[in-house]
């Protein structure tokens, strides 16, 4: 599935880099509990449709030339499809997750086994609560880190010690944007897109200072999970309902690739939630 928008001439100035992703199929997906503002246990989920939508996402990644690894889902863990929350990996070091809600706690050891079985990176057990790439976004020389709902501020210090990179703490203040990855995404090493109202005033000032040319996203596009997007520096896999953001990406020289993950959105997730990036490096 590719964007129907005509690619602007200056899109050639954006450079895509090949990525390596870890994903998990929604074979056991359901909304069996409510731990965020989007989950409603009385709303039915079409698991077959969720699988079709997820498979389309994976087809997009492979069509862009990215490497995709697939972890085996476990019965009783319906949110394992949201592989981004399992860890954050930078330069071959893997900082594992420690989930806030007990409903998701068993996902962490399940994914830890995947990293061990595939000899993928040096694994670091967390001592503080954190939810992986849900709240950590490697961004060039920085790692942006969210707190306020799921990840403890102390986890930011732990990540900085593990990765040896400056960690920029950002406070989330709207429970609808419970993770950083539904309020902000990294476009490339030098820029981001974000929804200002999801952040505290102090964090908004930090973002304006660090990213004066950021794409500022409207409420309607944030609510459509437009910020739960994946960028390879040129191509951006983005929720198809985030119409305004799609146009903004186009205007800024990126190539938006709309995707429909409406079933997974019922649990508060989109493309990024489904996607853990494997960042190999010096430690391997």
Distances in Å between the alpha carbon of 184 and those of 111, 130, 138, 146, 178? 24, 17, 12, 10, 11
Residues 83, 26: contact at Cβ < 8 Å?
A: no
Catalytic residue among 66, 93, 156, 179: 179
What is the distance between the alpha carbons of residues 199 and 145, in angstroms, rounded to a whole number? 12
Catalytic residue among 24, 86, 120, 273: 273
* 136 contacts: CB under 8 Å, gap ≥ 6: 88, 95, 130, 143, 144, 145, 146, 151, 159, 180
Is residue 120 flagged as an active site residue? no
Chain CA centroid to CA 236, Å = 12
Largest CA-CA distance found in the chain, in angstroms, rounded: 49
Sheet bearing 191-194, strands edge to edge: 184-188, 191-194, 215-216
What is the distance between the alpha carbons of residues 186 and 143, in angstroms, rounded to a whole number? 10
Burial-class residue 18 by CB neighbours within 10 Å (0-12, 13-18, 19+).
exposed
Is residue 69 flagged as an active site residue? no
Catalytic residues: 179, 273
């Amino acid at each position: 599935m590719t964007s129907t928008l005509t690619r602007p001439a200056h899109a050639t100035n954006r450079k895509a880099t090949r990525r390596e992703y870890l994903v998990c199929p929604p074979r056991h997906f359901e909304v069996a509990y409510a731990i965020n503002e989007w989950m409603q246990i009385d709303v039915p989920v079409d698991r077959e449709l969720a699988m079709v939508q997820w498979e389309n996402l994976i087809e997009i990644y492979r069509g862009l030339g990215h490497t995709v690894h697939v972890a085996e889902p476990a019965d009783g863990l319906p949110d394992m499809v949201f592989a981004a929350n399992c860890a954050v990996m930078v330069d071959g070091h893997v900082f594992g997750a420690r989930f806030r809600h007990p409903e998701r706690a068993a996902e962490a050891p399940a994914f830890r086994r995947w990293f061990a079985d595939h000899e993928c990176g040096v694994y670091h057990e967390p001592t503080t609560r954190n939810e992986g790439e849900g709240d950590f976004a490697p961004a060039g020389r920085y790692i942006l880190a969210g707190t306020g709902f799921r990840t403890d501020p102390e986890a930011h210090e732990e990540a900085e010690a593990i990765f040896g990179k400056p960690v920029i703490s950002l406070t989330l203040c709207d429970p609808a944007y419970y993770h950083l990855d539904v309020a902000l995404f990294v476009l490339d090493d030098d820029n981001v897109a974000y929804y200002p109202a999801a952040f505290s005033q102090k964090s908004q000032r930090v973002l304006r200072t660090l990213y004066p040319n950021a794409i500022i996203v409207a409420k309607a596009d944030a609510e459509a999970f437009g910020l739960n997007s994946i960028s390879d520096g040129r191509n951006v896999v983005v929720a198809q309902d985030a119409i305004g953001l799609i146009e903004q990406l186009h205007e800024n020289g990126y190539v938006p690739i709309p995707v429909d993950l409406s079933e997974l959105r019922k649990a508060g997730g989109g493309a990024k939630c489904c996607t853990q990036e494997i960042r190999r490096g010096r430690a391997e």
